[in-house]
Amino acid sequence: MAGHTRPLRILLAKLGMDTHTVGVTVIAHALREAGMEVIFTGLKQTPAMVAAAAIQEDVDVVGISTLSAGHTRSLPQLAQLLREAGAGDKLLLAGGVIPEEDRPLLEQAGVDRIFTMGSDTREIVDYLNQWWSRQPGSPD
């Protein structure tokens, strides 16, 4: 968090009918343990609901956990909604069950990084810390 006067703020969400919470709960715990502020929107969110929450909560990162195969439609829609709302600078991450062949579509749409099921939480924390350290410090 070098140069920052506040912790990294992360919004975690589950889109659509995906109600599997084990992975997102483990991630939320690891991020909180690393000193990050985590906001979980809950289950059955729409891309519009997540984009609105990300803006309202003024988060730096939006993380989507998915296991239900709707990611090729919902993640590009979320990225577009964030851009249209002037929040395209938020880091957009995805995790869970995402087939390798879907990665190019998601990355082209604006997903910055994909952490598949089984990713080490330390890798996610390290990635976020490195990204945060490259962002301009804010004198909040």
Gap between the Cα atoms of 69 and 15, Å rounded: 10
Angle formed at CA 79 by CA 9 and CA 92, multiple of 5 degrees: 35
The per-residue pLDDT for 137 is 74
In a domain, 108, yes or no: yes
Residue 139 inside a domain? The answer is: no
- Say yes or no to pLDDT of 136 above 90: no
pLDDT value at position 19?
A: 79
Residue 1 lies in a domain: no
Say if residue 140's pLDDT is above 50: no
Q: What is the domain-level CATH number for residue 21?
A: 3.40.50.280
| Alpha helix segments (H runs only) across 15-100 | 22-33, 47-56, 71-84
Q: Sort 71 into a burial class: Cβ within 10 Å, 0-12 / 13-18 / 19+.
A: buried
In a domain, 140, yes or no: no
Domain containing 61 equals: 9-115+126-133
pLDDT at 3: 67
pLDDT in tens, 55-69: 999 999 999 999 877
- Which tens digits make up the pLDDT trace of 89-131? 999 999 999 999 999 999 999 999 999 988 999 999 999 999 9
CA 80 to chain centre: 14
